[in-house]
Amino acid sequence: MIHDNLIARLRERSAKIGIVGLGYVGLPLALRFSEVGFPVVGFDIHAGKVARLNSRQSLIEHISSTQVAAARDRGFVATTDFSCANEVDALILCVPTPLTKHREPDLSFVLNTLNSLLPYLRPGQIISLESTTYPGTTEEELKPRIGDAGLSVGKEIFLTYSPEREDPGNPNFTTSSIPKIIGGSTPECLNVGLALYANVIDRLVPVSSTRAAELTKLLENIHRAVNIGLVNEMKIVADKLDIDIHEVIAAAATKPFGFTPYQPGPGLGGHCIPIDPFYLTWKAREFGVHTRFIELAGEVNSAMPDYVMAKVAAALNERCKPVKGSRILVLGIAYKKNVDDMRESPSVILMEKLREAGAVVEYSDPHVPVFPETREHHFDLSSVELTEQNIDDFDCILLATDHDKFDYNFLAARSPLIVDTRGRLAASSNVVKA
């Protein structure tokens, strides 16, 4: 049987694994499969990315080039040629699922990727989607297209949804140690999916369907978005009451039950938390359900950059300076500390708002030496070195991402004005909390 033969090859690690999308999710997964002995092919549409990987260079800061080189020595290869998909036994899709300009799900990366693979699919393969999406995507979008290509899902080819749970830069968790949710389109699909991931993930969590797996991923991220929205709103209230919200959170966190600390900030960043709630609210409208709680949290979080802008303007105004013409250094442009990941970073939104207000904007980030080319944000800038002379050139430093590499004592002692959105500094004559 096709089902039994594929499971046997996966268990003995002779099956060839194809990872489609070699970013923050796909590359660690490709390296993990290679590490345990699977032959691995990585697919990506970006020729430059493929060339760098084949030249043994890492694309991501927290993944070393030594790890990439070791995988290359074991036979890992990257390619832009999707016809090679016919040679692999498993295809794991790790491509972006952003929002459209109308804040609706954009499945174009998933569907374009699948359409590129369809001519090369064959019996005896498994396709696993890891991209975050709304419940029903696997069954309503992927399964029919595979069926139209002449392959019977559950008999000839196997389809699963297994959401990524990567946390870039978190040293406490690795690809292998994070439990993995798996839902199959059929029971046979689930069996093959479990065999696929069993060799690379310590704990597998099977669920009853792909729809349940899709909703599980959304619940995880909406839980964070809602709680961050709550603490961001509490920050605004605390500021009006002249109370340090970070002191309050630290005190509340001493309760040994019933409280989980979340930290406020200048807005939401990363590929998941700012985007995923809108996938569910969009799908819920199909059933006449209005997700008021989720949408309210989204409104609060989306408004945080404007709150920070108002604090910057007020702080400069107190020093008889307008935003227009002021030189402002944004400290940290990654979406969270100690990583080079800029996806959906609120720091970049703040840079654009400051530029629109007439400020002269620069940035300093030890993890992002040059502002990269992106589809939506355009700055011809390089990271400013934090020397005494350079700091003296700025009217205001806006602490947006609190990397550990920054010398906060030095900055507080030298800068005439710091607007702190992360609670890293104590309030003083030149430090304003935002």
Active-site annotation, residues: 272
Smallest CA-to-CA distance from 131 within 33, 230, 271 is with 271
Give me the amino acid identity at 218. L
218 Cα distance to chain centroid = 13
Helix (H/G/I), strand (E/B), else coil: 176: coil
- Under DSSP, is residue 5 helix (H, G, I), strand (E, B) or coil? helix
Bridge partner list, 128: 92, 160
The four Cα atoms 369, 373, 374, 377 give a dihedral, to 10 degrees, of 80
Q: What is the CA radius of gyration of the chain?
A: 24
List the one residue out of 179, 203, 206, 202 whose CA is nearest residue 192. 206
Among the listed residues 204, 202, 205, 133, the one whose alpha carbon sits nearest the alpha carbon of residue 173: 202
Q: What does the DSSP assignment read for 253-321?
A: TTSSSS-------SS--SSSTTTHHHHHHHHHHHTT---HHHHHHHHHHHHHHHHHHHHHHHHHHHTT-
What's the CA gap between 231 and 262, in Å, rounded? 7
- Name residue, tokens 């345990």: 36
Q: Tell me how crowded residue 389 is: count the other CB atoms within 10 A of its CB.
A: 7
| Opening angle at CA 219, ends 213 and 221, nearest 5 | 110
Residues forming beta bridges with residue 41, ordered by sequence position: 18, 77
Within 10 angstroms of residue 236's Cβ, the number of other Cβ atoms is 15
